[in-house]
Amino acid sequence: MKTIAIAGGLLAAAALLTGCGLSDIAGPSNEESTSYQVTDKVTKLQLKSNAGEAVITETDGTAVRVTETLHWRGDSNKPKPEHKVEGEALFVTYGCPSNWGSCSVDYKIEIPKGLPVDLDAGSGNLTLRDLTGEIDAHVGSGDLDAAGLGGKKVRADAGSGNIELTYVSAPDAAELKTGSGDIVLNVPDGAYDVKTDVGSGDAEVTVKKDTASAHKLTLTAGSGDITVKPA
């Protein structure tokens, strides 16, 4: 009984010290969505998300359309979204009032055709559909799922999570890396200069390999399997 009383006292003290009640420590209980479009001239999208899901797609038109779904718990932990255009780059991010993982933001972003993207997701999944611009993507903990790709260059890494990319036209350069997770790369029929490096796992390449090919594929997995196959 003493142990239970002490544990309860410590929890109550922690709540007081952080200014949070038990409702703040529970799961997210609030949600709010907002949408906007950016009509300024933009030559790149930069997204930095600490936690949450992000879906990026291409659309007709020149504006960038963003839908943000905010999640938070407690009365004072509402996320603070931010977006700004600097040097023709659209920067999208958010902040949390506290460091207790009390908030997150899900993004749905529609971009003009061919717009390059620079995406940084701390904890959450990235979903990319039908992008034709250059891709630079980082996921700390989560999966990267991309399909219908037509861009020439992609650089992607996941600390803990899987990467799966499907191309409708052959990329000139693909550099993919996972710390712990599988990599699946689906590419059109053709010859590719493929280099794989697996620490713990298997590598299976079923496309034609040619070191003289202009299409360079470099895949590295610390712990996980690598698969390169025809789409």
Digit-coded pLDDT (tens) for 30-69: 999 999 999 999 999 999 999 999 999 999 999 999 999 9
Buried b (16+ CB within 10 A) or exposed e, 50-88: bbbbbbbebeeeeebbbebbbbbbbeebbbebebeeeee
How far is the C-alpha of 25 from the C-alpha of 171, rounded, in Å? 46
Determine the average pLDDT of the residues in 202-207.
Answer: 98
* Of 196 and 29, more confident: 196
Determine the average pLDDT of the residues in 166-171.
Answer: 98
The two tokens of residue 222 are 């610390």
The two tokens of residue 30 are 């609030």
Could you give the maximum distance between any two Cα atoms of the chain, in Å?
73
Q: What is the pLDDT of residue 26?
A: 53
- The DSSP H or E segment spanning 136 is strand 135-141
Residue 79: is its pLDDT beyond 50? yes
Tell whether pTM > 0.95: no
How far is the C-alpha of 146 from the C-alpha of 226, rounded, in Å? 16
What confidence category does residue 27 fall into, taking pLDDT thresholds of 50, 70 and 90?
low
Averaged confidence pLDDT in the chain: 90
Residue 12: is its pLDDT beyond 80? no
Residue 218: is its pLDDT beyond 60? yes
Residue 23: is its pLDDT beyond 50? no
Q: What is the pLDDT of residue 21?
A: 40
DSSP code of 10? H
Residue 14: is its pLDDT beyond 60? no
User: 184: which residues sit within 8 A by CB, 6+ positions away?
Assistant: 162, 163, 164, 165, 227, 229
Half-sphere exposure of 34 (CA within 13 A, CB side): 10
Burial grade of 222 (CB within 10 A; 0-12, 13-18, 19 or more) = middle
